[in-house]
């Protein structure tokens, strides 16, 4: 095989690895999205329960206030008992006390059910707090894992970069500048195999004569359509 062609194939392998490593490094932050969403959901659920907890505590306070207020009214009425002269007045007086007592009794019932709910919500709150903490730990752990993976990929990248540097010293500048032109133009594939009289870079058929010239991989030949360097993979090349 033509020595330059061989070097260009090697260069392409290195550059493809560098490109895919780059892609992997760039996509790393996305992998935190799932654990970020998990934490957001846990916080939202916790806040909802916290709000309900506060609502119930305020409701209980209001009812406690109602109870005190009605008890005071009843006490005041009782001090006025001595002023009652007639039976009619006495009946009205009893009815008034009864009304206050009924309101007070209902408020007491509501306080009891509010207290039960507050207790139940307090249990939920504890569970939700634990879930938020768990999600925070998970996010932190994933963040660390990603940092480590990033470091590892960057080290791998460094290895490819130094190999590339060594390789470049052996590639003729004319071939290299064509190679880089192809890289930019063709989204990262500067050299392509040819199979069945077709350039595998652009999938265009080539004249049989050109394909024949490729058979021995001993010349630098470019696809007339996409400009990529062409070569024949070992199994298709003419055995020597």
| Interface residue list for Zn ion (CB under 5 A) | 199, 201-202, 223, 225-226
Considering the complex, what minimum distance in angstroms separates the CB of residue 187 from Zn ion? 13
Nearer to Zn ion, 8 or 107 (CB): 8
Using the minimum distance from each CB to Zn ion, give the nearer residue, 100 or 229.
229
Q: How far is the CB of 133 from Zn ion (least distance, A)?
A: 57
Q: How far apart are CA 201 and CA 213, in angstroms?
A: 18
Kindly give, in sequence order, each residue whose CB lies less than 8 Å from that of residue 128, ignoring residues fewer than 6 positions away.
42, 45, 46, 49
Which of residues 75 and 205 has its CB atom nearest to Zn ion in the complex?
Answer: 205
Q: At closest approach, how far in Å is the CB of 167 from Zn ion?
A: 23
Asked if 222 contacts 228 with a C-beta cutoff of 8 angstroms, the reply is yes
Which residues 6+ apart lie within 8 Å of 215 measured at CB? 232, 236, 237, 238
Least distance (Å) from Zn ion to the CB of residue 184? 15
Reading phi first (left if > 0) and then psi (alpha if -120 to 50, else beta), residue 227 is in: left
* Closest distance of CB 198 from Zn ion, Å: 9
* Residues 67, 72, 78, 80, CA torsion sign: negative
The residue among 50, 32, 216 whose CA lies nearest residue 132 is 50
Instruction: Compare residues 111 and 191 and give the one whose CB is closer to Zn ion.
Output: 191
Closer CB to Zn ion, residue 202 or residue 237? 202
Beta strands 198-199; 204-205: pairing state? antiparallel
CB of 225 to Zn ion, least distance (A): 5
Of 105 and 225, which CB lies nearer to Zn ion in the complex structure?
A: 225
């Amino acid at each position: 095989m033509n020595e330059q062609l061989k070097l260009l194939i090697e260069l392409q392998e290195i550059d493809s690895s560098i490109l895919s490593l780059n892609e992997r490094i760039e996509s790393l932050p996305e992998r935190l999205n799932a654990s970020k969403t998990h934490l957001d959901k846990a916080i939202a659920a916790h806040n909802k329960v916290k709000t309900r907890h506060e609502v119930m505590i305020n409701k209980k306070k209001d009812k406690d206030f109602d109870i005190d207020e009605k008890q005071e009214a009843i006490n005041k009425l009782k001090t006025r008992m001595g002023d009652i002269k007639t039976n009619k007045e006495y009946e009205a007086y009893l009815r008034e006390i009864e009304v206050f007592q009924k309101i007070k009794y209902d408020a007491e019932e509501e306080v009891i059910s509010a207290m039960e709910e507050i207790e139940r919500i307090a249990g939920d709150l504890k569970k939700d707090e634990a879930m938020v903490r768990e999600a925070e730990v998970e996010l932190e752990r994933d963040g660390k894992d990603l940092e480590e993976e990033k470091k590892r990929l960057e080290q791998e990248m460094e290895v490819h970069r130094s190999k590339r540097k060594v390789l470049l010293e052996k590639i003729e500048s004319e071939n290299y500048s064509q190679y880089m032109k192809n890289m930019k133009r063709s989204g990262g594939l500067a050299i392509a195999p040819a199979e069945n009289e077709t350039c595998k870079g652009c999938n265009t058929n080539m004249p049989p004569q050109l394909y024949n010239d490729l058979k021995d991989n001993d010349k630098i030949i470019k696809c007339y359509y996409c400009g990529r360097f062409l070569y024949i993979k070992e199994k298709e090349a003419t055995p020597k």
